[in-house]
């Protein structure tokens, strides 16, 4: 079975998403392809007969951002399931790679030198994407101190012809008190050079007039940067991704040559290894078999600190004549008023008396007449629970407590500020006994059907029932 699927994947006749769907339907083969939990599994409640969500489960997900789920809660069918490893038990090969990746990302962002030690536990969520909430025990090589690192790694389906697509959402030292948010990667903000179809493999540096873009990695670079070996192991795993035994039997890898390609400028060629965005053309061997790989690495987070970013491209009644209008229109953020761009603004709890022209406190009648205000509030709740659909649905319905609208547009009557093309909505609401605050920024480029919503939400401590 594995060999047949492998052949279909390599030939392009079967997509990763279709393969995943097939395997999900073949429960007796799922473990072979790592689409379910394999180590010591916590006995949870996964029967569809018990669809009502456990409030304690939702609390644990909210407080820990999905990292600390115990075995005494009822876990929904598509919820976050914990896997605990014994003191001498190793995780699956892919989980170990993802754990190493989280440590690598933390070291880059914080300029630290943490060393991966072991993974005591991790949590898994399916099925829309394979999300792994991994707890890693690390050692700081600067002072030999021990720490616990948490990283959220998501493996999603191919978009640009790549065989493996992995992204990190959280890389942090576990906080003593619950804090932080999960950040979605904003791929639209990535430099176009690193988007679209995967580039062709490059075996040598470019021509003399293009050497500024390429650098051939030296042996001392490989010794000094062990993450290059991690990238190479990811390259091998992308080939053997549906056969863990095949991957492990091929280790260790032997790096023969690496060429780095980047548009970023550096004082010294070898500093290209430190580029935020780069393409690594890797030639390596494993068990006497030669491999070539293109590994594209980008580091990007939401543009303006928001937790959710959505925009509309086409909003129209279906035309009587097919083909009328633009097939797809991209929102032009450069023409949006500068007041509504950049970092998300701070939450405002009260309309400022000294600036009444810019603020308006929404009245109960406004909320009744404009049901889209409830939609914006549900978006605010979703931006907090985006990584857990069950938690979001369990928290509904929302109860709007207060909304303050902020806009630089002028209107005859204060209530007309709700009709502004560009506005910021400061929303205070509650759901299931918990209070939330949210900033929803609505902007447009002036084209019909174009709206950009940027949302950032915070949760306060639960109120007593």
- The three-class DSSP label of residue 26 is coil
**Distance of alpha carbon 460 from alpha carbon 465, whole angstroms:** 15
**Distance of alpha carbon 438 from alpha carbon 451, whole angstroms:** 18
**Distance of alpha carbon 249 from alpha carbon 378, whole angstroms:** 49
User: Where do we find the tokens 């379910």?
Assistant: 36
Read off the tokens for 323.
Answer: 């083909």
Contact (Cβ atoms closer than 8 angstroms) between residue 394 and residue 432? yes
Half-sphere exposure of 21 (CA within 13 A, CB side): 7
Tell me what pLDDT residue 308 has. 63
Determine phi and psi for 269, rounding to 5 degrees.
-55, -40
**Distance of alpha carbon 231 from alpha carbon 295, whole angstroms:** 7
pTM exceeding 0.75: no
Contact (Cβ atoms closer than 8 angstroms) between residue 326 and residue 314? yes
Query: Considering Cα of 85, then 86, then 90, then 92, what sign does the dihedral take?
Result: negative
At what angle are helices 227-239 and 93-110 packed, to 10 degrees?
Answer: 150
**Distance of alpha carbon 324 from alpha carbon 317, whole angstroms:** 11
Tell me what pLDDT residue 180 has. 59
Give exposure, 386-418, as e/b (b: 16+ Cβ within 10 Å): bbbebbbebbeebebeebbbbbeeeeeebbebb
Determine phi and psi for 457, rounding to 5 degrees.
-130, 150
**Distance of alpha carbon 346 from alpha carbon 361, whole angstroms:** 16
Give exposure, 263-299, as e/b (b: 16+ Cβ within 10 Å): eeeeeebbebbebebbbbbbbbebeeeebebbbbbbe
**Distance of alpha carbon 193 from alpha carbon 199, whole angstroms:** 10
Tell me what pLDDT residue 14 has. 57
Tell me what pLDDT residue 28 has. 33
Tell me what pLDDT residue 208 has. 53
CA distances from 63 to 196, 267, 347, 380 (A): 37, 44, 21, 18
- Which letter does DSSP use for residue 252 in this model? S
Point out which residues pair with 35 in neighbouring strands. none
pLDDT by 10-residue block (mean), the chain, 465 residues: 58 55 44 41 45 80 87 82 90 92 89 93 79 94 94 81 83 80 62 81 69 88 93 92 88 94 87 89 92 76 57 66 56 81 87 77 93 93 78 89 93 89 95 92 83 86 44
Half-sphere exposure of 220 (CA within 13 A, CB side): 1
Query: Considering Cα of 410, then 414, then 418, then 423, what sign does the dihedral take?
Result: positive
Tell me what pLDDT residue 22 has. 54
pLDDT digits (tens, 9 = 90+) for 80-127: 889 999 888 999 999 999 999 999 989 988 889 999 999 999 999 875
Strands 145-155 and 166-173: antiparallel
Please name the residues in contact with 132: beta carbons below 8 A apart, sequence gap of 6 or more. Answer: 95, 98, 122, 123, 124, 152, 153, 154, 155
**Distance of alpha carbon 124 from alpha carbon 134, whole angstroms:** 9
Given its phi and psi angles, is residue 369 left (phi above 0), alpha (psi -120 to 50 degrees) or beta? Answer: alpha
């Amino acid at each position: 079975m594995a060999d047949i699927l492998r052949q279909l994947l390599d030939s392009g006749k079967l997509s990763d998403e279709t393969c995943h769907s097939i395997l999900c339907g073949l429960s007796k083969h799922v473990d072979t392809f790592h689409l379910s939990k394999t180590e010591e599994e916590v006995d949870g409640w996964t029967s569809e007969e018990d669809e009502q969500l456990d409030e304690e489960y939702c609390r644990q997900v909210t407080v820990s951002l999905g990292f600390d789920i115990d075995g005494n809660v009822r876990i929904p069918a598509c919820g976050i399931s914990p896997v605990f490893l014994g003191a001498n038990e190793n995780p699956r090969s892919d989980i170990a790679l993802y754990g190493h990746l989280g440590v690598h990302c933390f070291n880059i962002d914080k300029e630290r030198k943490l060393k991966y030690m072991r993974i005591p536990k991790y949590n898994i969520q399916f099925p829309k994407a394979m999300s792994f909430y991994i707890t890693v025990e690390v050692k700081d090589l600067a002072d030999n101190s021990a720490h616990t690192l948490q990283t959220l790694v998501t493996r999603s389906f191919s978009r640009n012809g790549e065989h493996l697509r992995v992204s990190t959402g959280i890389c942090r030292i576990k906080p003593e008190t619950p804090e932080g948010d999960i950040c979605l990667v904003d791929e639209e903000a990535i430099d176009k050079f690193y988007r679209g179809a995967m580039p062709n493999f490059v075996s040598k540096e470019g021509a003399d007039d293009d050497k500024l873009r390429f650098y051939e990695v030296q042996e001392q670079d490989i010794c000094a940067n062990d993450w290059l070996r991690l990238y190479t192991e990811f390259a091998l795993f992308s080939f053997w991704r549906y056969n863990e035994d095949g991957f492990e039997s091929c280790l260790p890898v032997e790096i023969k040559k690496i060429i780095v390609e980047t548009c970023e400028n550096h004082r010294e060629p070898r500093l290209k290894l430190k580029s935020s965005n780069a393409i690594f053309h890797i030639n390596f061997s494993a068990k006497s078999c030669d491999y070539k790989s293109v590994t594209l690495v980008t580091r990007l987070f939401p543009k303006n600190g928001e937790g959710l970013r959505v925009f509309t491209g086409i909003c129209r009644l279906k035309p009587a004549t097919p083909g009328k209008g633009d097939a797809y229109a991209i929102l032009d953020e450069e023409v949006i008023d500068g007041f509504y761009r950049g970092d998300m603004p701070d939450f405002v709890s009260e309309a400022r008396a000294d600036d009444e022209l810019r603020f308006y406190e929404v009245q109960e009648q406004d909320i009744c007449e404009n049901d889209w205000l409830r939609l914006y509030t549900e978006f605010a709740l979703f931006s907090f629970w985006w990584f857990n659909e069950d938690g979001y649905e369990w928290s509904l319905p929302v109860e709007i407590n207060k909304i303050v609208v902020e806009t630089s547009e002028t209107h005859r009557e204060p209530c007309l500020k709700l009709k502004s093309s560009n506005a910021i909505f400061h929303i205070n609401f509650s759901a299931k006994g918990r209070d939330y605050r949210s900033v929803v920024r609505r902007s447009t480029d002036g084209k019909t059907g174009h709206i950009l919503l940027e949302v950032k939400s915070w949760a306060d401590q639960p109120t007593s029932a």
